[in-house]
Amino acid sequence: MTSDLVLTGISKQFAGHRAVDNLDLTVPAGTFFALLGPSGCGKTTTLRMIAGLEEPTAGSIRLGDDEISGLRPYKRPVNTVFQNYALFPHLDIFENVAFGLKRRKIKDFKPKVEEMLDLVELNDYGKRRPGQLSGGQQQRVALARALINRPQVLLLDEPLGALDLKLRRQMQLELKRIQTEVGITFVHVTHDQEEAMTMADTIAVMNAGRIEQLGSPAELYDLPATTFVANFLGQSNLIRGAIIGHADQNLIVEVQGRKVVVPTARCRVTEGEVWLGIRPEKVFLAAAGSEEGDGVNQLRGAVVTDVSYVGVSTQYLAKLPWGQELTVFEQNTGAREAFVAGDPVDLHWRPAHSFLLDAAQDAL
Ligand code: ATP
């Protein structure tokens, strides 16, 4: 049985520094949840409070109806996988995985260990020592060892941080498969947005001890709530403007003397100064004066200032008449000649592909 993990008003104050600031968070039972944010934003401290390795200064941590924040770490139905594996070097892999069951004096542990080794696809490695395995294999052993006691929640603290990029990508998919198979709640800490997006059902983006936004990867990417999220998850072009009216289901925004529209449903603000946000792959370049696009959301008079070929796509920088540079990603479909630096271009995008943030609340 698994229950929701609920953090209410959780804070952690270290001498003179508030690492976690009044956090409210519900992790639905059986989901893959990622805590994502830059270094020092309080992710690990939050995880350590759930594990019982750090005492909260204030707040409560519940699993279903049970308050667990007063319990010692080993009394919590929670286990942790760390980046450095923490395997026992003198024990073979089978014994490493069996350790938790043996300590609890569980008799018929052999089939359970075999099941776990099977889960992490290491059945043939039981007799080896950790030192005889690759980093990725050691991480799988650590995972099997943490899962064998069937915790309600598995905490993962940058578990893939020590692996090279290719192995990391492979392990991300593997972790997701394992989570789906065992159905245990996973709370995964990472500063890698791509990693969080690949694996998690829900992501909480943290900044300075608080949660900036919580949602599915697609929700966060499609409609970020703040400039921090807009820039931390992928890239965004953010253009300063002001709301000057509304028409039908749209807000009308003035940007440097030009009018553009944004659907109301994609606006986090109803009046005043705004950031108009457009993802680089949602902006299109057209030869100057070519009348491509629907003519609604269009910025004319730009110049290509930089072109980088990156295989599947080309990345452009285009300078607008007021000096701001926008980033544009264009798929290399071969449909037309690439632009070169110095080409005059117009930029256009579909209103439903932009979003509006409150510039008064958000200094960028
Ligand atoms: P990283 O990705 O670098 O691990 P993080 O988001 O996990 O960062 P935390 O390790 O939770 O961040 O740290 C949050 C803040 O709390 C940091 O400013 C850190 O210096 C501070 N901090 C963490 N542990 C302690 C401690 N034991 N004593 C004092 N300050 C601490």
In this predicted model, what pLDDT tens digit does every residue of 73-111 receive, in sequence order?
989 999 999 877 789 999 999 999 999 888 888 888 899
* Mean pLDDT value of segment 333-350: 91
Give the mean model confidence (pLDDT) for residues 301-308: 96
Select from 216, 189, 190, 184 the least CA-distant residue to 202.
216
Q: Residue 301: is its pLDDT beyond 70?
A: yes
- Ligand 1 within 6 A of 73 CB? no
| CB of 48 sitting under 6 A from ligand 1 | no
Exposed, middle or buried, 311 (CB in 10 Å: 0-12/13-18/19+)? exposed
Question: Which residues of 158-268 form beta strands (DSSP E)?
Answer: 185-190, 202-207, 210-215, 237-247, 250-255, 258-263
pLDDT value for 274 = 97
pLDDT of residue 255: 95
- Quote the percentage of the chain above a pLDDT of 90: 80
Cα–Cα–Cα angle for 116, 119, 123, nearest 5°? 75
pLDDT-derived band at 291, boundaries 50, 70, 90? confident
Spatial strand order of the sheet with 66-67 comes to 17-27, 5-14, 58-63, 66-67
Average pLDDT over residues 269-283: 96
Given a cut of 80, is residue 2 above it in pLDDT? no
Structure tokens at 346: 């117009």
Residue 15 CA to residue 18 CA, distance in Å, equals: 8
Q: Report phi then psi at 47, rounded to 5.
A: -60, -40
340 in helix, strand or coil?
A: coil
Would you say 184 and 150 are in contact if contact means Cβ atoms under 8 Å apart? yes
Closest by CA position to 344, among listed 314, 311, 320: 320
What H or E segment, with its residue span, contains residue 111? helix 110-119
Q: Which helix (H) or strand (E) holds 231?
A: helix 227-232
Residue 364's pLDDT band, with cuts at 50, 70 and 90, is low
Pocket test for ligand 1, best of 41, 47, 206 (most atoms within 8 A of CB): 41
Helix (H) and strand (E) counts in the chain: 8, 20
- Reduced DSSP (H G I as helix, E B as strand, rest coil) percent helix, strand, coil of the chain, to 5: 25, 35, 35
**Counting atoms of ligand 1 from 1, which one is nearest the CA of 54?**
27
Please tell me the distance between residue 205's alpha carbon and the centre of ligand 1 in angstroms.
16
Q: Residue 226: is its pLDDT beyond 80?
A: yes
179-197: average pLDDT: 95
Q: What percent of the chain has pLDDT over 70?
A: 99
Q: Pinpoint the alpha helices (H) of 29-92.
A: 43-51
Cα–chain center distance at 99? 33
DSSP label of 224: -
What CA–CA distances, in Å, run from 214 to 8, 201, 205, 228? 15, 11, 6, 13
CA of residue 208 to ligand 1 center, whole Å: 10
236: buried, middle or exposed (CB in 10 Å: 19+, 13-18, 0-12)?
buried
Name which residue sits closest to atom 24 of ligand 1, judged by CA. 45
More confident residue, 240 or 289: 240
Per residue in 308-335, pLDDT (tens digit) is: 998 999 999 999 999 999 999 999 988 7
- Asked if residue 209 has its Cβ within 6 Å of ligand 1, the reply is no
Task: Tell me, using a 6 A CB cutoff, whether residue 16 lines ligand 1.
Answer: no
pLDDT tens track for 56-66: 999 999 999 99
Residue 248 reports pLDDT greater than 90: no
Protein residue with its CA nearest to atom 31 in ligand 1: 14
pLDDT averaged over the chain? 93
Interval 184-200 mean pLDDT: 95
Q: How far is the CA of 355 from the centre of ligand 1 (A)?
A: 33
Closest protein CA for atom 30 of ligand 1: 14
Residue whose CA lies nearest to ligand 1 atom number 1: 39
Cα–Cα distance, 166 to 52 (Å, whole number): 33
User: What is the arithmetic mean of pLDDT over 29-49?
Assistant: 96
Q: How far is the CA of 42 from the centre of ligand 1 (A)?
A: 6
Query: Residue with the nearest Cα to atom 21 of ligand 1?
Result: 19
Expressed in angstroms, the distance from the first to the final Cα of the chain is 43
Domains of the chain: 5-228 (3.40.50.300), 236-358 (2.40.50.140)
